[in-house]
Amino acid sequence: MAKASIMRILTVFVATTMLLDVALAVDHTVGSPGGSWDLSTNFGVWASSQTFSVGDNLVFRYTSNHDVLEVTKSNYDSCGTSGPISTSTSSPTTIPLTAAGKRYFICGIPGHCSQGMKVEIDVVSAASGPPSTPTPPSPTPPANGPTTSSPPPPPTGVAVNPPSSAINLKMTAASILGFGFLMVMLL
């Protein structure tokens, strides 16, 4: 009897852990909701609006006249297609994000990358949360100029805060699933 209870508790623990992993993973469809893996989506703006965590997935949806190449930083910068880390030609392509760090993806069709069909993904560890945004340096007053200061100009580009509600949603879903499964197993 005691052995059966221990096995039941271990089963609940393992199943809850597996459910937490599933509930915490997020599929990021590249370019959505307003675009996809195409020539008209601004992937820099899209990527800056996301928080990519270890355990999440990138999902590329595209037509047959595109592909997805994971490349090195050098090939990303130059739109080079030689020696890709991986190549995918059928949509949808799902890329698991298994480690923290930067990942680089381009379309390998000639001319597409140089037209903006490339995205840099910054994956953070699941426990660390969104990457910090660097603070722009304060302007230095001129050596022989007036001592009054004016506010610094706004930074260029589009600043979008990461969706913290997605993190809260993941944690709530994991808690509900885990608690529900625990209750079913204990009854």
Cis, bond preceding 154 (omega within 30 deg of 0) = no
Distance between CA 87 and CA 90 in Å, rounded? Answer: 10
C-beta separation of 43 from 30 below 8 A:
yes
Domain assignment present for residue 38? The answer is yes
DSSP state of 24: H
Q: How many domains does the chain have?
A: 1
Domain assignment present for residue 163? The answer is no
- Domain containing 65 equals 20-128+172-187
111: tokens are 């001319």
Domain assignment present for residue 7? The answer is no
Instruction: Give the CATH number of the domain where residue 29 resides.
Output: 2.60.40.420
The Cα-based distances of 186 to 9, 18, 33 in angstroms read 8, 17, 41
Kindly report whether the global pTM for this prediction surpasses the value 0.75: no
Domain assignment present for residue 35? The answer is yes
Strand order in the sheet with 27-29: 27-29, 57-60, 93-96
Domain assignment present for residue 146? The answer is no
Domain assignment present for residue 46? The answer is yes
C-beta separation of 61 from 28 below 8 A:
no
- Output the tens digit of pLDDT for each of the chain's 187 residues: 677 666 676 666 555 555 454 456 899 999 988 889 999 999 999 999 999 999 999 999 999 999 999 999 999 999 999 999 999 999 999 999 999 999 999 999 999 999 999 999 999 987 655 544 444 444 444 444 444 444 444 444 433 333 433 444 555 555 666 666 666 666 6
Domain assignment present for residue 40? The answer is yes
Domain assignment present for residue 166? The answer is no
Can you count the helices (H) and strands (E) in the chain?
4, 8
Partners of 122 in beta bridges:
102
